[in-house]
Structure 1
């Protein structure tokens, strides 16, 4: 939090000149716990206007509709102009925030304060893919080999099992072979080609782990419409608590594929939610179908580990190390 505030003060000073110090807001005690847990609240006087900064400290980025709801809860009885502050915001969400005229600041990158006539935008370079990281389809092939079978792997059979085209599977084979994780048969590069993983599964995981990425593409807090069942296996902290002694989160975490997310949106089967509301759940949208490797309604332990590997919570990290020791080699 201190780092974000320091970057914010520097950014305001560099763009707007002299800026009075940011001070803590002492009236947050009346707010619901989930708001106090997610945000730090601070006051700032800028161009004669009083601003109430909502500094988001969550690792998960909420959509603009949820942010608007949260602001409405904070706004009750307050005269200050509410401003959303987050260290990183995706390009899509920045666009939606501007469209909805929600004031926000990304320290060092963008400031949108329409009531003050301030709209500073800078170029955001597109994030580069992780160097050497496997594609989602290649990662799915590897997890299949680790969890189910590493024998008789050819593009045609795997395309049917994993839901990809034969061409996509052939490219995934190329990636795995180029990464020296397996060897290909000498029967060519067509549908009769087969892969062979020659090292023990535990060694294969150790060698491959630096090339693996989180399967989670996005996270969305939602309310499912009445009668709708969760659209996939349980994942995230809900699944980690199931596989360990970690306490369950206050909300359900469910994993679904990009196809599932698209279907939910097309059928309008959900509404935006705020985590902490009754019945709210966190939907993780995965780059490959989580049900491919799920068992008994829970995501597989390898993908679960990868989905939470970058979490900074020390308790989660300790639990993940315990989870690794129980991998089914």
Structure 2
């Protein structure tokens, strides 16, 4: 939550070199309740003709950060209803959400840190550390390792042979995962004798927020198969898994997940993918994952964090609300 409006004004004036006027917005009472519950509203006007009109500041006053897709929906609602350029403001925004907001061309301000105002061509990053250009996304095995560490609260003293043995990876694959985690600046290592030990620099929710920019959807592809061909030992995924853990309704067709390599090795012998059956009542929507979902769960649904990643870019409001509930219930 923004501590004081004075801090915001000072940041804007120091950064842009112009004076600004900040005042409470007079149309707050006309907003739907869900938009009044989490936000404070101010109009911002520059004392020089920098923008040519006022800006509406949507100041996030909630304790937990919303998804970029939900922020985008709220901004677009305000723009379309009140015909005013709207800027999202929050004390801190995760790296992943910043990236997504920029992709959506959604203006935002993080006081004393970053301002992104595409309307006037501003993208000012004062103290954001740049990600190393050699690393964009984690490999599937590195992603599995990070999620496994979060689920099991395994934050230090981890060796390649130990984690490789637990997850069914070779020591060399584990070493490559260690290197990527260090490149992302969320982990470091120390040696005991000749053996490398990994230590995360963050724990729990903070590690998740810092590392999320390097994580991707586990879903590589998807297809429809007849329900009689769908093994029951494939964990529930997608909206089926989300419905199991939140209040969202079940999808018309059950969704399950399987490691893509496993599916490729058995489909020729036993099953036939039937893409033309999409939406039919007797079909199962099968997600082919980049990694084995069973490495991260012993239950009949995929793990919470992979589930979140598989749906985080879904712009449906109900899905986003359910994902927030899902992450909120995760035991960090």
Measured after TM superposition, the shift of residue 292 of structure 1 is 1.1
User: Which residue is 1:148 aligned to?
Assistant: 152
- Find the partner of 1:283 among 266, 278, 286: 286
The 1:219/1:289 distance shift into structure 2, 3 A limit, reads: same
Contact 1:213-1:306 at 8 Å conserved across structures = yes
Q: How do 1:255-266 and structure 2 match up within 5 A?
A: 255-266=257-268
Contact 1:225-1:270 at 8 Å conserved across structures = no
Distance 1:158 1:251 in 2: 36
Measured after TM superposition, the shift of residue 180 of structure 1 is 1.0
Question: Cα deviations across residues 247-299 of structure 1 (Å, max 9, x unaligned)?
Answer: 00011100111232113323132341523323200111111110111242111
Distance 1:177 1:166 in 2: 17
Contact 1:234-1:253 at 8 Å conserved across structures = yes
- Find the partner of 2:181 among 173, 176, 181: 176
Q: How do 1:76-95 and structure 2 match up within 5 A?
A: none
User: Which residue is 1:241 aligned to?
Assistant: 243
Measured after TM superposition, the shift of residue 131 of structure 1 is 6.0
SS in 1 for 2:205: helix
CA RMSD of aligned residues (A): 2.2
Contact 1:159-1:166 at 8 Å conserved across structures = yes
- Find the partner of 2:210 among 207, 210, 234: 207
Give the alignment's TM-score, normalised by structure 1.
Answer: 0.56
After the TM superposition, which segments of 4 or more aligned residues of structure 1 sit over 4 Å from their partners?
none
Distance 1:158 1:310 in 2: 30
The 1:257/1:225 distance shift into structure 2, 3 A limit, reads: same
Distance 1:284 1:269 in 2: 15
Contact 1:224-1:269 at 8 Å conserved across structures = no
Contact 1:153-1:196 at 8 Å conserved across structures = yes
User: Which residue is 1:293 aligned to?
Assistant: 296
User: Which residue is 2:20 aligned to?
Assistant: none
Distance 1:130 1:239 in 2: 35
User: Which residue is 1:166 aligned to?
Assistant: 171
User: Which residue is 1:3 aligned to?
Assistant: none
Question: Cα deviations across residues 148-196 of structure 1 (Å, max 9, x unaligned)?
Answer: 14144211121122122211110010000111111111348x7x21111
Unaligned runs of 5+ residues in structure 1 are 1-128
Contact 1:224-1:271 at 8 Å conserved across structures = no
Distance 2:320 2:153 in 1: 29
Give the alignment's TM-score, normalised by structure 2.
Answer: 0.56
